Chains A and B, each alone.
Chain A
Amino acid sequence: MFQEPQKRRNYVIYILFIFLSGSIFLADLFSNKKFSDLISDNADFLFPVSQEAIDLFDSLDLNIIKNKNTLINENIRLKNEVIELRKLKLINERLVEEIRSNNELIKNVNLENIIYYKSTILIKNTEDEYLISGGRNINLNKNDLILNEEGFVVAYIVKVFDDHSLMNTIINSEFSIPGIDKYGNQYLVTSNREELLINSIYIEEENLNIDYIFTDVAFDHIGQFPIVKLTNEEVSNANNKISAVVRIDYKFSFDSNIYIVKEK
């Protein structure tokens, strides 16, 4: 008989705590995250995941689970390699064309004042964001760019901690970065997790022969780094707006080689 009122009282306290969480949420929202930053800066020691711990987990994983898969994959890889070799001649011809295009891009990148920090993925959270090694200890800031091994921008930093950072990647739906092409047209590159959506925001010259869209100092980036390659992609122009959709082939893993770009 007293069970139901007791349950209702439980709900009331739960609801009160939901309101308390809501109040904290509002305080953080109106302080532009200064509230949460202040607390996380002073309580960073509570973060339990270190590079050593990840390496330990990773090695356990390799030893126990991966052995069989590795052998099967290796077998498939060797078979594919024979087929791939036959295709190399055709690829070589295409690469010559690509080198020409890349040389054009490299001219725009000032490598002398840039330093690359190799980073490692530590953890993926439930919102599919990744925590990576490196934080205030290597002077990282919000919006610092993160490149993959091919030099393409695959993420940028959204939150910095003492020795780790949170990044927003091309496979997050919140990913949004401005870019520019070789004609000076400006774009906003966003993601729907499976594809990168490229939409122009300012047109300087209407030309659909866009090789790359890259970052630029005009958007407070430290230099020009490619975000997306449009050489073999379908680019459309409708109502004075250039747009394209590019499938995301890049996959993040613990073995991903990612580099944080910083100014010297």
Chain B
Amino acid sequence: MKILRNISYIFLFVALLVLELLLGIFSEFSDLEILPFLILLFYISINKFSNDYIPAFFFSGIYYDLFYTSNYFGSTSAKFLSIGIVINFINKKLDDNLFSEFLVFLLSVSIYKFEFIIFSFSFIQLTIVFLISVINYFLFKLINITLKRDVFKKSI
């Protein structure tokens, strides 16, 4: 049962990764992107952090390296796992408020897009990363609120 659950996590991660890439079609390659996969990584890292998600982190990275990039095999897996561990660690150390959470989200976007920042470092690129963080953090909060809402309690 546990194996089945872990396999379903892998499928969920891969599906969201493909969805994120397909969303690029709608945005017509705009610099401001919606990153559902990163939102999932962030959500798991701060709310559901556990060993159960390690295969999903690992295999989604492997899958991405296989078909969508010229990166060396395993580099994206390491990036996804690093995001998970770094975000969880920092989030635990910081106060639980909106500003700290946004800073952590900004950090996760920076790690996620580190090639984008390092290879073409400029004020414009940093602004784009900040704007991507704002848009996606807003989406993360929306999803977070929706998932946390207890419908049965409210109706009573």
* A residues lining the B interface (CB < 8 Å): 7, 9-11, 13-15, 17-18, 20-25, 27-29, 33, 35-36, 39-40, 43-44, 46-49, 53-54, 57-58, 61, 65, 123-129, 131, 158-159, 161, 166, 168, 173-174, 192-194, 251-254
From A60, which residue of chain B is reached at the shortest CB distance?
Answer: B26
Q: Which of B20, B72, B85, B112 contacts A15 (CB 8 A)?
A: B85
B101 CB–A CB distance under 8 Å: no
Smallest CB separation, A73 vs chain B (Å): 13
Q: How far is the CA of A131 from the CA of B24 in the complex (A)?
A: 12
Rounded to whole angstroms, the CA-CA distance of A77 and B52 in the bound complex is 55
Residues A125 and B69 in contact, CB atoms below 8 Å apart: yes
List the B side residues contacting A254 at CB < 8 Å. 25, 28-29
A249 to chain B, nearest CB (A): 15
Q: Which residues of B sit under 8 angstroms from A33, Cβ to Cβ?
A: 72-73
**Among residues 73 to 95 in chain B, which have CB atoms less than 8 Å away from a CB atom of chain A?**
73-75, 77-78, 81-82, 84-85, 89, 92
CB distance from B78 to the nearest CB of A (A): 4
For the A-B complex with A125-B21, A126-B113, A194-B120 known, give 11 more contacts whose Cβ atoms are closer than 8 Å.
Answer: A9-B51, A17-B81, A21-B77, A23-B74, A24-B62, A28-B74, A54-B25, A126-B20, A127-B115, A166-B68, A166-B70
CB neighbors of A among B116-140 (8 A): 116, 119-120
CB distance from B117 to the nearest CB of A (A): 11
Q: Which residue of B lies closest to A12 (CB)?
A: B51
**Once bound together, how far apart are the Cα atoms of A29 and B113, in whole Å?**
22
| With A33-B72, A48-B18, A57-B26: A161-B67 Cβ-Cβ less than 8 Å | yes
Given contacts A15-B85, A49-B18, A161-B67, contact A29 B25 (CB under 8 A): no
CA A166 to CA B81, docked complex, whole Å: 25
For the complex, what is the distance from the CA of A14 to the CA of B85, rounded to whole Å? 7
- Most chain A C-beta atoms within 10 Å of own C-beta, residue among B28, B65, B73: B73
Report if A192-B81 is in contact (Cβ < 8 Å); known contacts: A21-B61, A49-B22, A61-B25: no
B57 is an interface residue with CB less than 8 A from chain A: yes
For the complex, what is the distance from the CA of A116 to the CA of B143, rounded to whole Å? 47
How many residues on the B side are at the interface (Cβ–Cβ under 8 A)? 44
Chain A nearest Cβ from B6, distance in angstroms = 13
What are the residues of chain B within 8 A of A194 when measuring CB–CB?
120
CB-CB under 8 A from A57, the residues of chain B are 22, 25-26
Q: A125-B69, A127-B69, A131-B68 are in contact. Are A10 and B82 (CB under 8 A)?
A: no
Q: Which residues of A contact B116 (CB under 8 A)?
A: 126-128
Residue of A with least CB distance to B31: A128
Of B68, B81, B85, B115, chain A has the most CB atoms within 10 Å of the CB of: B68
Contact residues in A for B84 (Cβ distance below 8 Å): 14
Query: Can you name 28 A-B residue pairings with CB atoms under 8 Å?
Result: A7-B49, A9-B51, A11-B89, A14-B57, A14-B81, A14-B85, A18-B81, A20-B58, A22-B74, A25-B78, A28-B74, A36-B65, A40-B66, A46-B63, A49-B22, A54-B25, A123-B22, A123-B25, A124-B29, A126-B113, A127-B69, A127-B115, A129-B70, A131-B68, A166-B68, A168-B70, A192-B120, A251-B29
Q: Decide if B71 is an interface residue (CB 8 Å cutoff).
A: yes
B119–chain A nearest beta-carbon distance, Å = 4
